Amino acid sequence: MGIDHIDPLINDSIQNCRNDPAAGPLLEKGTLKLVVGDGRKGYQPSGPYDVIHVGAAAPEIPPDVSWEKLLHFRSASLFFTFVILKNARGEAVVLIHLVHRKA
C-alpha cells in the first residue's frame, strides 16, 4: 500500500512497478496498491496494517495528524517516521519516531 498526495508521483510509481519483474505482478493482482490521497488521514480501506512507514521527513510531526485515526493498526504493529531538526550548530539531526503496539 502506497499513498501520496502528488498525482504524478503515484503515476510514476505505478509505471516503475509495472516495469519491475517482482512488483509488476503484485500490482496487477491488487496485492500492491498505490493511490492518490492525504496520507495524514491514513487509508482505512486497506487496513489494518502491521507496519506503517512515513517516508516524508519534516521539521515536525504535523499537528493535524491524529495517531488513532491515521494508524489503522492491527493489535501488534509498528509505526515509524523521520523528523529532521537542526541542532545548535545548524547541523541536521534526524529523529526516528517509533510507536510500537504489542498484542
pLDDT for 48: 78
Pairing type for strands 49-58 and 73-86 reads: parallel
pLDDT for 19: 96
| pTM > 0.75: yes or no | no
Rounded mean pLDDT for each run of 10 residues along the chain, 103 residues in total:
90 95 94 87 78 66 59 60 70 63 63
Pairing type for strands 34-36 and 49-58 reads: unpaired
3-state secondary structure of 29: helix
